[in-house]
């Protein structure tokens, strides 16, 4: 019963979170960033080629148990946390490229995860549509609805966005509380060991490499890329695990361990690389 309530509250949290994201992403701003083909190419390359390759390579080199490896694989496929635009505003980063990044990774995640998950996770017996269905229902549709409301009814979007945000916060608290009840004993009983080491290596590389090797991109665009890729969409990450019966809890716990890691490295990216942006970006 508690597990069912956890899944329902998590689904509502993810849907309201993506609706809130859509209500804050201006399609016109996103379109400006999407017209920069170099930025689009770098986003797709680092997010959906290098990211999954790093996840696979780390699990191949380090002696990770299979459930932890599964969690890292899933984390490597889902760049871009919904809270990213809020962080970018505080970092005074170009919101056009932030919007473009979020639109691009959100759509690509929904398109590629049903293909990548059955191919990369041979131990997870699951069909592509089983993965795609929750991504479409609780991520893509609310996201598109939010962006549509903002585009066609901007005044209404401004009025309802605080309500949606409060709903998201409420169900985040409920989902986290139920998660502790369901998985708390398993979390206390694990030895993080190589699991935590693998997460630190992954987040360090996926944060630093796009900034250092973002050839052809301006400094602020590389910062968007670095901060965006340092965060993970945990809703999309955990969705395939919640639709599989008798999943090993350690895979879900591995995803949970990714939360403090991505918050840490997003902050490091903002402080570390953000100085270069502040220096290189001319003032008005």
pLDDT in tens, 44-74: 999 999 999 999 999 999 988 888 898 999 9
Q: Which two tokens stand for residue 267?
A: 């902050």
CA distances from 223 to 21, 148, 270, 273 (A): 20, 28, 8, 7
The fold of 2-278 is Na+/H+ antiporter like fold (1.20.1530)
If you compute the radius of gyration of the chain from its CA atoms, what whole number of angstroms results? 18
User: What are phi and psi for residue 215, nearest 5 degrees?
Assistant: -65, 130
The closest alpha carbon to 268, from 229, 237, 234, 213, belongs to 229
Q: What is the distance of C-alpha 112 from the center of its chain?
A: 14
Q: Return d(Cα 226, Cα 270) in angstroms, integer.
A: 9
Tokens 């994201």, residue located: 21
Provide the pLDDT for residue 278.
47
Q: Which residues of 248-283 are buried (b: 16+ CB within 10 A; e: fewer)?
A: bbbbbbbbbbbeebbbebbebbbeebbeebeeeeee
Tokens 């929750």, residue located: 134
210's CB contacts (< 8 A; 6+ apart) are: 42, 46, 50, 222, 225, 226, 229
3-state helix, strand, coil in the chain (%, to 5): 80, 0, 15
Provide the pLDDT for residue 74.
92
End-to-end Cα separation, the chain, in angstroms: 57
pLDDT in tens, 139-166: 889 999 999 999 898 899 999 999 999 9
| 63 vs 87: which has the higher pLDDT | 63
- Average of pLDDT values for 226-249? 83
pLDDT in tens, 10-53: 889 889 989 998 898 888 888 888 989 999 999 999 999 999 99
Provide the pLDDT for residue 122.
64
- If pLDDT is split at 50, 70 and 90, which confidence band does 279 have? very low
116's CB contacts (< 8 A; 6+ apart) are: 52, 77
**Domains in the chain: boundaries:** 2-278
Tokens 């017209």, residue located: 35
* pLDDT > 70 fraction of the chain, expressed in percent and rounded: 89
Provide the pLDDT for residue 79.
94
- If pLDDT is split at 50, 70 and 90, which confidence band does 104 have? very high
* pLDDT > 90 fraction of the chain, expressed in percent and rounded: 34
The closest alpha carbon to 182, from 113, 102, 242, belongs to 242
Q: Note whether 104 and 228 are within 8 A (CB).
A: no
- If pLDDT is split at 50, 70 and 90, which confidence band does 245 have? low
Q: What is the distance of C-alpha 272 from the center of its chain?
A: 21
């Amino acid at each position: 019963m508690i597990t069912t309530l956890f899944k329902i509250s998590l689904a509502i949290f993810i849907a309201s979170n993506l609706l809130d994201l859509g209500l804050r992403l201006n399609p016109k701003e996103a379109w400006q960033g999407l017209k920069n083909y170099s930025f689009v190419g770098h986003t797709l390359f680092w997010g959906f080629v290098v990211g999954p390759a790093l996840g696979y390579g780390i699990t191949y080199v380090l002696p990770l148990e299979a459930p932890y490896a599964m969690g890292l694989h899933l984390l490597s496929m889902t760049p871009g946390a919904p809270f990213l635009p809020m962080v970018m505003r505080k970092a005074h980063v170009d919101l056009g490229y932030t919007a473009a990044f979020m639109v691009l990774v959100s759509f690509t995640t929904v398109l590629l995860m049903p293909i990548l998950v059955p191919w990369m996770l041979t131990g997870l017996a699951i069909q592509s549509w089983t993965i795609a269905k929750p991504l479409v229902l609780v991520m893509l549709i609310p996201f598109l609805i939010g962006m549509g409301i903002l585009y066609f009814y901007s005044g209404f979007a401004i009025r309802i966005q605080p309500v949606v945000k409060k709903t998201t916060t409420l169900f985040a608290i409920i989902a986290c509380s139920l998660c502790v009840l369901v998985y708390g004993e398993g979390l206390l009983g694990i030895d993080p060991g190589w699991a935590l080491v693998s997460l630190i290596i992954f987040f360090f590389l996926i944060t630093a490499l796009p900034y250092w090797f973002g050839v052809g991109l301006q400094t602020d665009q590389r910062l968007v890329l670095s901060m965006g890729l340092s965060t993970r969409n945990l809703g999309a990450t955990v969705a395939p695990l919640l639709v599989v019966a008798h999943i090993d809890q350690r895979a879900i716990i591995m995803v949970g361990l990714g939360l403090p890691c991505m918050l840490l490295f997003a902050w490091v990216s903002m402080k570390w690389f953000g100085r270069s942006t502040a220096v290189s970006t001319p003032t008005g």
